[in-house]
């Protein structure tokens, strides 16, 4: 399996993208660790998006404010 990761600062937010070419099928609603990550990101005013079609790998993008107190 191949893993790719990018990290940048964009508009006063930390932007993180992680993807793989694995089996896919990850789903936040199934109560996995992804749900905990989503909850934590939202608690500080950030977002996490997930794309994980079965058979096509998984891509996760997080945008986290660099100053959570300013939300």
The residues facing 50 across adjacent strands are 60
Give the residues of the chain that fall short of pLDDT 70: 68, 70-71
The pLDDT score that the predictor gives to residue 1 is 87
The pLDDT score that the predictor gives to residue 29 is 84
Q: What is the DSSP string of 26-61?
A: --GGGTSHHHHHHHHHHHTT-EEEEE--TTS-EEEE
């Amino acid at each position: 399996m191949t893993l790719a990761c990018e990290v940048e600062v964009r508009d006063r937010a930390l932007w993180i993208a992680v993807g793989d070419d694995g089996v896919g099928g990850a789903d936040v609603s199934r109560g996995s660790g992804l749900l905990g990550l989503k909850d934590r990101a939202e608690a500080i005013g950030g977002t996490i998006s997930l794309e994980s079609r079965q058979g096509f790998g998984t891509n996760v993008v997080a945008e986290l404010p660099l100053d959570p107190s300013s939300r």
